């Protein structure tokens, strides 16, 4: 923060998994096939002493916890449920108040894990979750496309409340824009849910900017969630400026570049069968050499700040705007603690200018997501 190879993933498989992969708080700890220890991390934040930020009128800890991979890691392994509960509870003990889930993660299972873990301190935290994929509400099966029809949204929210073991959702996102449903109808459903006390705030993920403006005019948003990191700086083009104009907070998913910015991936990394990163152009063997320059920047600054590279990447994000709140995810206790420690890393104005210039000088090569998944971002909703 500032003080002044072939992946083995088919197109069909990508589309089927998109609900869990296209807009998730991707972790900085579910690495390729082995995990690389970080440098000694910054530890200047006492337990429970994390600064807070505002997403619109919603107050949250400056770093949140994404829980998406707590039901299935990138390598398709299934984490131990009790250990995931422990990580969520330990994050709360360290001052994290912002926990991010989605109906599509599992589907459903991540919401259950989160609801189980926070039962003793539900009223102390902010729970965010998401609707928008076409998921059968009886079976949990993924159906083609999206579903943001107002009647469906209301059924989804009722089911979310049961899984999360709560009576309200603090922040409800539309996970992706439904190209068949006017955003005014979606906002109308949100208004109804707010009137019933079931939803307190809402947001959108990876939407088209015209749709964002229309949605905000109908019912003001608290937050936008999109991918943003040193490795992918797309929101700097227009999204951040629009959020600033409208008074909307910004929540970066994949703030550590799916583990890349921690230094866990190198030129020899190859991904396990089913790991979506194997289908992302930025991690292809021909692009890794160039893109690893960004990791070297984080390593250099980590030495200067007595921090870990991932902490530099998170602190850099928080330094861009005071209303940016990254949500790194993890299935490892040590990595959660390290991520929370990023709030103690600060840059002077001169240091931030120097770091920004170094980041901007590197042109990241390769697509951030497979093309079928990318096509789901930037969608504009139809007019009423």
Residues classed as catalytic: 105
CA distance 126 to 64: 9
Do 130 and 205 meet the contact criterion of CB atoms below 8 Å apart? Answer: yes
Which residues are registered as beta bridge partners of 65?
99
Do residues 229 and 254 touch, judged by C-beta distance below 8 A? yes
Q: Say which residue the tokens 């949140």 belong to.
A: 64
E strands, 14-63, are 52-55, 58-61
In the DSSP assignment, the letter for residue 127 is E
End-to-end CA gap in the chain: 42
Rounded (5°) CA angle 23-79-268: 70
What's the CA gap between 330 and 351, in Å, rounded?
29
Q: For residue 304, how many C-alpha atoms fall within 13 Å in the half-sphere facing its CB? A: 15
Q: Report which of 182, 151, 184, 187 is spatially closest to residue 172, judged by C-alpha positions.
A: 187
Closest CA to 259 of 231, 235, 296, 281: 231
Q: What residues have CB less than 8 Å from 327, skipping those under 6 apart?
A: 25, 63, 64, 65, 66, 98, 100, 251, 252, 253, 255
- Secondary structure of residue 334 in the 3-state scheme: helix
Q: Are 364 and 295 in contact (CB under 8 A)?
A: no
């Amino acid at each position: 923060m500032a003080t002044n190879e072939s992946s083995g993933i088919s197109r069909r498989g990508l589309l089927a998994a998109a609900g869990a992969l296209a807009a998730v708080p991707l972790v900085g700890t579910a690495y390729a096939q082995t995990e690389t220890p970080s440098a000694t991390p910054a530890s200047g934040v006492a337990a429970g002493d994390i600064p807070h930020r505002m997403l619109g009128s919603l107050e949250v800890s400056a770093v949140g916890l994404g829980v998406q991979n707590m039901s299935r890691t990138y390598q398709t392994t299934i984490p131990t449920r009790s250990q995931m509960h422990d990580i969520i509870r330990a994050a709360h003990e360290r001052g994290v108040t912002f926990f991010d889930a989605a109906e599509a993660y599992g589907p459903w299972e991540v919401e259950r894990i989160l609801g189980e873990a926070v039962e003793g301190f539900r009223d102390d935290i902010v729970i965010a979750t998401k609707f928008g994929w076409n998921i059968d509400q009886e079976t949990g099966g993924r159906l083609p496309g999206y579903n943001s029809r107002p009647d469906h949204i209301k059924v989804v929210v009722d089911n979310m409340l049961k899984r999360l073991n709560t009576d309200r959702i603090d922040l409800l996102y539309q996970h992706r824009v439904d190209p068949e449903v006017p955003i005014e109808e979606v906002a109308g459903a949100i208004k109804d849910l707010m009137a019933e006390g079931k939803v307190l705030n809402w947001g959108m993920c990876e939407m088209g900017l015209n749709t964002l403006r229309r949605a905000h005019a109908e019912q003001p948003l608290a937050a936008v969630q999109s991918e943003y990191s040193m490795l992918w700086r797309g929101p700097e083009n227009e999204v951040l400026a629009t959020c600033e104009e409208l008074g909307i907070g910004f929540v970066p998913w994949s703030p550590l570049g799916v583990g890349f910015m921690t230094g866990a991936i190198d030129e020899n990394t190859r991904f396990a069968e089913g790991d979506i990163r194997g289908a992302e152009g930025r991690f292809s063997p021909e692009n890794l050499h160039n893109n690893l320059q960004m990791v070297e920047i984080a390593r250099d600054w980590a030495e200067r700040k007595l921090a870990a590279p991932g902490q530099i990447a998170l602190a850099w994000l928080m330094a861009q705007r005071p209303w940016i709140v990254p949500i790194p995810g993890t299935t490892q206790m040590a990595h959660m603690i390290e991520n929370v420690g990023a709030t103690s890393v600060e840059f002077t104005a001169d240091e931030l200018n120097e770091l920004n210039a170094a980041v901007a000088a590197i042109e990241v090569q390769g697509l951030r997501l497979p093309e079928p998944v990318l096509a789901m971002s930037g969608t504009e909703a139809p007019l009423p």
